[in-house]
Amino acid sequence: MSESAKDECMSTARHDPNDPYDAVIVGLAPANFDYDHLNTAFRILIGECESQKRSFEDRKPSIPLIALHKARFIESSGDGLMLGPGPFVVALENATGKEAEVLGKPSKAFFQTVIESLDYDGPNECIAVIGDDIQTDLGGGATDLGLWRILGTT
């Protein structure tokens, strides 16, 4: 790997070069969905950044890939639809062979956390989820938990 590629891991992510990375987290930051950021995340996940090499010497660390959600697209105010974080997460999964841990919708854990925070009586009450994306808002955990699902538009 060239020196410029090694340095890219540090500069693109604005990271202290002496600290190893603990994880790659993909959230909703459309301005950062570009080749440089995606390639930096890839290099971190496979242990190619200099901070990983210095900190872990001969062994490659297992850096987790965490996604806040995997929406395929989002609606931009006034600009119509644009790519969401999902395609970028899937690209990183494909390139690294890692599976992302999804912390937000539509993961079952996300919906369970919300339900636990409610004063919920169980089967005597119904919980509805309202969303504008069948897969991202209303799929996965909402389906697994048998929640009422309402498709709305913005």
Same domain, 13 and 69: yes
Task: Please check whether residues 70 and 9 belong to one and the same domain.
Answer: yes
Q: Is the pLDDT of residue 42 over 50?
A: yes
Return the CATH number at 19.
Answer: 3.40.50.1000
Do 77 and 15 reside in the same domain of the chain?
A: yes
What's the domain range around 86?
3-102
pLDDT digits (tens, 9 = 90+) for 61-101: 589 999 998 888 887 777 788 888 999 999 999 999 999 99
Q: What is the pTM of this model?
A: 0.72
In a shared domain, residues 112 and 131 = yes
Residue 99, both tokens: 């599976």
Phi-psi region of 99 (alpha: psi -120 to 50; beta: other; left: phi over 0): beta
**Tens digit of each residue's pLDDT (9 = 90 or more) over 95-136:** 999 999 999 888 898 889 888 888 877 776 788 999 888 887
Higher pLDDT, 60 or 152: 152
